[in-house]
Chain A
Amino acid sequence: MIQAVDYIRVLPEIVLTLFGVAIMMVEGALPPRASRKPLGWLAFVGTLAALAATVYQAGYPGMAFFGMVRVDSFSIFFHFLIAFIAALVVLSSFEYLDAQQIRGGEYYGLILFGAVGMVLMSSAVELVLIFIALEISSISTYVLAGFRRRAPSSIESSIKYFLLGSFATAFFLYGVALIFGATGSTRIYMIAETIQGGKHSAMVFTAVALMFVGIGFKIAAAPFHVWTPDVYEGAPAPVVGLMSTAPKAAAFAVLLRIFFAAATPGWFWPVWISAALSMTLGNISALVQDNVKRLLAYSSIAHAGYLLVAFAAARDIGISAAMFYTAAYALMNVGAFAVVSHFASAGERYVTLEDYAGLGRRSPVLAATLTIFLLSLIGIPITGGFFAKFYVFSAALKSNLVWLVIIAVVNSAIAAYYYLRIIVLMYMRDAREPAPTVQNVSAPLGVALALTVAATIYLGVLPGRVLDYASRGAALLVR
């Protein structure tokens, strides 16, 4: 029986869908030359409503729709994070769309539709539903990646993302099919029961590997990361801010469910290797980049690696560390891309490292903001990045993953180089002539930046509350 409370358990999805549909309809009604800003505000209100819906929903934990959706602290954590990221991305898009002269109101609609998929990914506990949610989120981001229609690189980005993404989801679907074959169910908790009972057939192992490929693509973990730099380089900067964080967070949630809630076997060494590879390849490649977006793309590959370290650490401390890391990483990365998108100017002209020289003098506040995000990405104390790394590494140490931690720590040291390089450029080099002009930061973007800075520092000074919430979610996952 479907009860009223079932609808509450998908309330954020409903809210986001309604707002998305409303945006599409209003877009059609608007005259072609009119400003699309009201649509943006509508989208922003939609994300706020989704946040409110999440808070409301938190009072009604449980299963919904015949055990296909599950609301618990774990899903609430990700719902909140994803809606928050969507709100930030909407805020930082106003100015960007103006600067790039993009007049597609469906841009905002797509962000909301993407968010629907991501939110659903984190609460779905049935593999086919997860797949559908994954597709919803993916298709929106494929389109968003190509939104700078006049720039060939953006089209290239979109098409690459689409082709490789479809390729990867196919693996995921195949994995779902195999696990259905092996266990007779697609429901995560029923799979768990079957798996815990008997011996593991090769089919189960293969299914896990195939699903890991599908999700590994989404989170840009090596060796399924190759698409990342090209796609991030071409896609619009705020969209990169979105797709390097929210879908990743959702995909991590799915992966956590598959590994821990479904208690699937045999993922340890693939994850171990993938973590080590992602960190190493990501960081070493980032060293030689001179395009900021490409650099941050490699950085996000590396961060996926750190996150997988927490997966390998397993148990509830590993899971809560991974959740905390997802949140901290998402906030600082959205912030960093917001700065990059502001600075890029019309046609994304200024995206090389050299353009950042002397920014500290020309635009001290913007430079200071970016510095905070970069320091957090390095993992310097009093930023969220520090505690994120700290919890992940200490969780891994507790699980005796000494070698993996050594690799991770060495990698953090390597990573410091390329992040610091940007800071050094901003503060210690003179700008080249003629210096790129920096526009004033518009109010919505200013709010988004202030929120991300505050959140990053908050996680670095008072990590306790968020970590506590994450631990509660984690405890539910490991039974």
Chain B
Amino acid sequence: MFFLNHIWIIPLLPALGAALMFFFGRKLSKSAVSFFCVGLVVVAFVFSCLTVLQYTGWAAAHNHQPFEKIVYTWLGSDTSNLGYLTHSGRAADFHVDAGFLLDPLSAIWLLFVTGVGMLIHIYSIGYMAHEGGYYRFFGYMNLFMFTMLTLVLGNNYVMLFVGWEGVGLCSYLLIGFYFLKKSATNAANKAFIVNRIGDAGFLLGMFTIAWYLGSFRFTQITEVARSGRLSTGDPTITLACLLLFVGACGKSAQVPLYVWLPDAMEGPTPVSALIHAATMVTAGVYMVARSNALFVLAPEAMKTVAIIGAVTAIFAASIGLVQNDIKRVLAYSTVSQLGYMFLALGVGAFAAGVFHVFTHAFFKALLFLGAGSVIHALSSEQDMRHMGALVHKIPTTFKTMLIATLAIAGIFPFAGFFSKDEILWQAWSADNGAYRALWYIGYATAFMTAFYMFRLMYLTFWSPSRVEHEVEHHIHESPKSMTIPLIVLAFFSLFAGFLGWPHSLKGSNRFEKFLEPVFAREATQFDKSGKEAQLAAAKKEEEHANPTEYFLMILSLGAAFAGWGLAKRSYGKAAEGYTEPIAATAPPAYRVLYNKWYVDEAYDYLFTGRRKLGPVRLGAMGAGEAAWAVDANFVDGGVNGAGWTTRALAKLSVWWDTWIIDGLLVNGIAYSTRPLSWLTRMIQWGLVQWYALVMVAGILGFVLYYIFR
């Protein structure tokens, strides 16, 4: 039980690294920096593995309950009456613990956050070797690990929120890592501001829950939600879930708040891999999955989640089809895959969504790290129009990236096949086909995914070289510290899917079994309305060998291969000045896609107000201008008036002090008594008498108050 009882040490390990970097980083050598920062993350990973191992043993003996460790009461106390009134008029204690929760859901996040985090830290040793601010980079990265682990392990919404804001901060710091570059700082600001919108929703959702259910703690909320006292479709729960989902949209880059993620690629590539692909952006998925007991009570919110997820999936994929920056393709791909995850959550297949998070963490991190390796090889070239024929020059990078591509395209037996297929199957069959329209969207997205990913592969590795001459000479495979993480990730991209080998293929889907206590166990115990979605999902999984499921599998494999084939035909021989097939067949569509559906421009017109709509400026800047006008004309008058009054009062008080107290009363008395020269010394104490007089005035005031009241 040692590790389980000391679970709080896990986030503190990287926090220690961050603190070291903050205080001493400047003075440490690069090797010392890597030793501490990477070493601590490795320790955290080992610690996490042992903790989860211990948990599985503990859980088997405790009816698969979540394990909670409350270290201390953080806010509120039992005696201080820091209460608030809940919706039902009951007084609730405002009580937040520094508490940790370990259940299968957080265990999965814990493992892949520390595991992938560790690999990316190792990778960064090589990647950042020649960059300035080495200690700053690792300090931020460790800080990120600390906050992400707080987010994942917290046992209540407030802890989750602390981690949530923390990862947001680290994301901001790391996107703007090259802070001398204007575009990087802009991207950092954009990420931070867009996330604020989501955070506002999250906060409101969190407080709605606390107000309605009287607690911030997950286990208590889940208990209330599953007690059957709340009815399905309860409007307050629906509102709370929708607000939480606004938060998830911000953090996990869903329509309409996804715009920050593609720009976030301004950060160093390991950051894109760790924060903006594998871990932080899945926090929204985690939060929704963590709130699953509430979401199943709110079918309307679930529907919203599913629809937004599907729309995001296809929308981002469509943009990804025509981008030329290798990291941007991957960024849109991430947004699109996150859409898949929310689609799964929305149709009630929580385990499938989490499974996709899990496999996606490996292959997307691998893709980004591979892209980083390509960029590293090509002396910082990111434009795929200037790549090509790298297949033999950087063979390790190529092989590992190919595995990742096969995985994301959903080709059997790579990891993505299992998770994506599970989602598509759930979308097809959930609620007796009520969501079938979303399946079509998901299916089309699968085709697009295969296409843009193989487009990336062909343009980068197989097509004839379009690399500039100067760069050509310097092409080299990356150092060991970079390739080894690639190989490890490739291993998992290949095999991680086996954990969720479906029943229909004579597997046992151990992944879902593992998660059952979080999503389905309670549902079988309390067979109340609203739990049916969960039950159905679990039941369907056990219907062996549904012929439709086989058919769908073959269909999606077909889509993957079709995408591959189309990409090969279009880009297999892409020489200098090749044409995009979409640009050739439908130029307007190409322009729209290339310009990302003009969403940024639209936001500029409508929300930020950076662009004027004719003579009018809308959005934040418009509001700013309007406010400025009001401010300049009305408020400033008031402010200046108030300021002037305060100054005048202060002046008056000084004047009073100087002339009346010091002057008239003190000096006045002093001067007036000057003729009595022997008294002059004593007169200095006139001040004291005045003081005493003030006190007498005070006491007289009070006594008079008592007499005449």
What string of 1s and 0s marks CB contacts (under 8 Å) between B363-400 and chain A? 00000000000000000000000000000000000000
CB neighbours of B690 from chain A (8 A) = 226
CB neighbours of B646 from chain A (8 A) = 284
Asked if A394 and B82 sit within 8 Å, CB to CB, the answer is yes
User: With the chains together, A190 CA to B555 CA distance in Å?
Assistant: 91
Residue of B nearest to A395 (CB): B81
A202: CB under 8 A from chain B? yes
Asked if A467 and B80 sit within 8 Å, CB to CB, the answer is yes
Knowing that A171-B695, A223-B695 are A-B contacts, what are 15 other residue pairs whose CB atoms are under 8 Å apart, sorted by A's residue number? A159-B685, A159-B688, A163-B692, A167-B692, A171-B699, A210-B699, A213-B695, A223-B698, A398-B81, A462-B72, A467-B79, A467-B80, A468-B77, A471-B79, A475-B79
* 10 examples of A-B residue contacts, CB within 8 angstroms: A160-B691, A164-B688, A164-B692, A206-B703, A209-B699, A209-B702, A209-B703, A223-B701, A284-B646, A317-B80
Interface stretch of the complex, out of B52-60, B592-600, B649-657: B649-657
Near A by CB (< 8 A), chain B positions 65-115 give 72-82
In the complex, which of the residues B80, B650, B695, B709 contacts A167, with contact meaning CB atoms closer than 8 Å?
B695
CB neighbours of B78 from chain A (8 A) = 468
Residue of B nearest to A213 (CB): B699
User: With the chains together, A270 CA to B691 CA distance in Å?
Assistant: 19
CB neighbours of A142 from chain B (8 A) = none
A259: CB under 8 A from chain B? no
CB neighbours of A168 from chain B (8 A) = 695
Residue of A nearest to B699 (CB): A213
Asked if A230 and B687 sit within 8 Å, CB to CB, the answer is yes
User: With the chains together, A284 CA to B651 CA distance in Å?
Assistant: 11
Asked if B650 and A391 sit within 8 Å, CB to CB, the answer is no
CB neighbours of A160 from chain B (8 A) = 685, 687-688, 691
A181: CB under 8 A from chain B? no
CB neighbours of A217 from chain B (8 A) = 695
Q: What is A's interface to B at a CB cutoff of 8 Å?
A: 159-160, 163-164, 167-168, 171, 202, 205-206, 209-210, 212-213, 216-217, 222-224, 226-227, 230, 266, 269-270, 284-285, 287-288, 317, 320, 391, 394, 398, 462, 464, 467-468, 471-472, 475
Asked if A226 and B82 sit within 8 Å, CB to CB, the answer is no
B578: CB under 8 A from chain A? no
Min C-beta distance of B664 to chain A, whole Å: 16
Asked if A288 and B80 sit within 8 Å, CB to CB, the answer is no
Asked if B695 and A164 sit within 8 Å, CB to CB, the answer is yes
CB neighbours of B632 from chain A (8 A) = none
B694: CB under 8 A from chain A? yes
Asked if B79 and A209 sit within 8 Å, CB to CB, the answer is no
CB neighbours of A320 from chain B (8 A) = 79-80
User: With the chains together, A167 CA to B688 CA distance in Å?
Assistant: 11
In the complex, which of the residues B76, B77, B649, B694 contacts A284, with contact meaning CB atoms closer than 8 Å?
B649
Min C-beta distance of B635 to chain A, whole Å: 17
Contacts A317-B80, A467-B80 given; does A206 touch B691 at CB 8 Å? no
User: With the chains together, A391 CA to B81 CA distance in Å?
Assistant: 10
B61: CB under 8 A from chain A? no
CB neighbours of A224 from chain B (8 A) = 694-695, 698
Asked if B698 and A471 sit within 8 Å, CB to CB, the answer is no
Asked if A223 and B703 sit within 8 Å, CB to CB, the answer is no
User: With the chains together, A467 CA to B74 CA distance in Å?
Assistant: 12
B706: CB under 8 A from chain A? yes
Min C-beta distance of A62 to chain B, whole Å: 22
CB neighbours of A467 from chain B (8 A) = 77, 79-80
Contacts A164-B692, A202-B706 given; does A317 touch B699 at CB 8 Å? no
In the complex, which of the residues B687, B692, B702 contacts A212, with contact meaning CB atoms closer than 8 Å?
B702
B707: CB under 8 A from chain A? yes
Asked if A213 and B698 sit within 8 Å, CB to CB, the answer is yes
CB neighbours of B654 from chain A (8 A) = 288
Min C-beta distance of A236 to chain B, whole Å: 20
Asked if A163 and B653 sit within 8 Å, CB to CB, the answer is no
User: With the chains together, A206 CA to B705 CA distance in Å?
Assistant: 10
User: With the chains together, A147 CA to B654 CA distance in Å?
Assistant: 30
Residue of A nearest to B78 (CB): A468
Q: In the A-B complex, list the 6 residue pairs whose CB atoms are closest, starting with the nearest.
A: A205-B706, A223-B698, A209-B702, A471-B79, A226-B691, A464-B77
Near A by CB (< 8 A), chain B positions 536-579 give none
User: With the chains together, A227 CA to B79 CA distance in Å?
Assistant: 38
User: With the chains together, A25 CA to B402 CA distance in Å?
Assistant: 88
B623: CB under 8 A from chain A? no
User: With the chains together, A28 CA to B384 CA distance in Å?
Assistant: 89
B488: CB under 8 A from chain A? no
User: With the chains together, A177 CA to B701 CA distance in Å?
Assistant: 20
Contacts A202-B707, A266-B706, A269-B705 given; does A284 touch B650 at CB 8 Å? yes
B639: CB under 8 A from chain A? no
Min C-beta distance of B509 to chain A, whole Å: 44
What string of 1s and 0s marks CB contacts (under 8 Å) between B673-709 and chain A? 0000000000001011011101101110111011101
CB neighbours of A471 from chain B (8 A) = 77, 79-80
Asked if B695 and A206 sit within 8 Å, CB to CB, the answer is no
What string of 1s and 0s marks CB contacts (under 8 Å) between B306-337 and chain A? 00000000000000000000000000000000
Min C-beta distance of A162 to chain B, whole Å: 10
* Most chain B CB within a 10 A radius of its CB, from A222, A391, A467: A467
Min C-beta distance of A436 to chain B, whole Å: 27
Residue of B nearest to A270 (CB): B702
Residue of B nearest to A226 (CB): B691
Asked if A317 and B650 sit within 8 Å, CB to CB, the answer is no
Residue of A nearest to B649 (CB): A284
CB neighbours of B698 from chain A (8 A) = 213, 216, 222-224
Min C-beta distance of A66 to chain B, whole Å: 32
CB neighbours of B695 from chain A (8 A) = 164, 167-168, 171, 213, 217, 223-224, 226
Asked if B81 and A317 sit within 8 Å, CB to CB, the answer is yes
Contacts A213-B698, A464-B72 given; does A206 touch B706 at CB 8 Å? yes
Asked if A468 and B80 sit within 8 Å, CB to CB, the answer is yes
Min C-beta distance of A119 to chain B, whole Å: 25
User: With the chains together, A472 CA to B654 CA distance in Å?
Assistant: 45
In the complex, which of the residues B80, B687, B691, B692 contacts A391, with contact meaning CB atoms closer than 8 Å?
B80
User: With the chains together, A223 CA to B694 CA distance in Å?
Assistant: 7
* Most chain A CB within a 10 A radius of its CB, from B74, B653, B692, B699: B699
In the complex, which of the residues B76, B82, B650, B703 contacts A287, with contact meaning CB atoms closer than 8 Å?
B650
CB neighbours of A317 from chain B (8 A) = 80-81
* Most chain B CB within a 10 A radius of its CB, from A266, A287, A288, A464: A464
User: With the chains together, A274 CA to B247 CA distance in Å?
Assistant: 46
Asked if B650 and A227 sit within 8 Å, CB to CB, the answer is no
Contacts A164-B691, A227-B691, A285-B653 given; does A213 touch B79 at CB 8 Å? no
CB neighbours of A475 from chain B (8 A) = 79
User: With the chains together, A168 CA to B74 CA distance in Å?
Assistant: 43
Min C-beta distance of B686 to chain A, whole Å: 12
Asked if B80 and A223 sit within 8 Å, CB to CB, the answer is no
User: With the chains together, A315 CA to B703 CA distance in Å?
Assistant: 25
User: With the chains together, A220 CA to B702 CA distance in Å?
Assistant: 17
Contacts A168-B695, A394-B82, A467-B80 given; does A284 touch B653 at CB 8 Å? yes
Min C-beta distance of B24 to chain A, whole Å: 15
User: With the chains together, A257 CA to B685 CA distance in Å?
Assistant: 35
User: With the chains together, A29 CA to B697 CA distance in Å?
Assistant: 49
CB neighbours of B79 from chain A (8 A) = 320, 467-468, 471-472, 475
Min C-beta distance of A292 to chain B, whole Å: 18
User: With the chains together, A319 CA to B232 CA distance in Å?
Assistant: 45
Residue of B nearest to A203 (CB): B706
CB neighbours of B74 from chain A (8 A) = 462, 464
User: With the chains together, A115 CA to B649 CA distance in Å?
Assistant: 40
CB neighbours of A468 from chain B (8 A) = 77-80
Asked if B692 and A270 sit within 8 Å, CB to CB, the answer is no
Residue of B nearest to A230 (CB): B687
User: With the chains together, A288 CA to B694 CA distance in Å?
Assistant: 22
Min C-beta distance of B493 to chain A, whole Å: 42
Min C-beta distance of A60 to chain B, whole Å: 23
CB neighbours of B649 from chain A (8 A) = 284
Near A by CB (< 8 A), chain B positions 612-646 give 646
